[in-house]
Amino acid sequence: MKRVLLGMLTPSSNTALEPLTAAMLAGLPEVSAHFARFRVTEISLGAQALGQFDLEPILQAARLLADARVDVIAWNGTSSGWLGFDTDEALCARITAETGIPACTSVLALNEAMRLSGHTRFALASPYLADVQQRIVANYRASGFDCVAERHLGKQVNFEFSEVTPAQIEAMARELAAAGPQCITTFCTNLRAAHLVPALEAELGMPVYDTIATAVWKSLRLAGVDTRRVQGWGRLFSELPGA
């Protein structure tokens, strides 16, 4: 069986996405994930925080992943939520131009998933600051998505996002569901939420799209792997057209 190698660009202070990604892929023996980090320690709209996402450090990490001959390179992060989706589109184009490897991102994959499922009314859960959250909502509105409800935890230090408890995530999801969205997104790849998705979907009666999961979902699609083989991680993998 031919190996499938998924490359993941990872924020340096992230401790959630690597174990969750590996767990999602555990039932696919030919698929493995490989990670390259670049420095990200805080999320805010300050100049220093925004500068963490300058193109060159990310491209350097992508070049290192290319040495491993990965089949796909994914930016497993949500920065384009507040920077603008065009930044992810430009990043993917540069990665592919420099390495010859198909590229994707958590956020562009989330947007694709919502479009494929016909969900334009969504609810947003994140650990971010209020002004970051407002920027995310505005960018989605400009792209034709209506955020009908949001919850955020007012955190700035990236490492602390991984310490948000399951109870906090579940409480945010239940509050958001009361607003009647078509779907909910847990929007941060250092939020330990993906494993909670199946139970939340069963309880709330709607899809929950986690941004670690969307990076895996799109990477598998680009690599030609049937996403329905990823079982027990929610409707994203089992129900979308073309899965």
Check residue 1 and give its pLDDT.
80
Say what the pTM is. Answer: 0.97
Tally of CB atoms within 10 A around 172: 25
Tally of CB atoms within 10 A around 242: 7
Check residue 240 and give its pLDDT.
84
Q: Do domains 4-108+212-239 and 112-209 have the same CATH topology?
A: yes
Check residue 164 and give its pLDDT.
98
Check residue 49 and give its pLDDT.
97
Which class would CATH give 112-209? alpha beta
Q: In whole angstroms, what is the distance from residue 65 CA to residue 31 CA?
A: 15
Q: Is the pLDDT of residue 243 over 70?
A: no
Query: Average pLDDT for residues 153-163, to the nearest whole number?
Result: 98
- Site of tokens 């409707």: 235
Query: Average pLDDT for residues 39-46, to the nearest whole number?
Result: 97
| CATH T-level fold of 4-108+212-239 | Rossmann fold (3.40.50)
Domain boundaries along the sequence of the chain? 4-108+212-239, 112-209
Q: In whole angstroms, what is the distance from residue 149 CA to residue 95 CA?
A: 34
* Residue range 159-181, pLDDT digits in tens: 999 999 999 999 999 999 999 99
Q: In whole angstroms, what is the distance from residue 61 CA to residue 200 CA?
A: 34
Check residue 241 and give its pLDDT.
63
CA angle 49, 54, 59 (to 5 degrees): 135
CA angle 141, 156, 82 (to 5 degrees): 25
* Residue 205: burial class (beta carbons within 10 Å; 0-12, 13-18, 19+): exposed
For residue 222, the Cα-to-chain-centroid distance in whole angstroms is 16
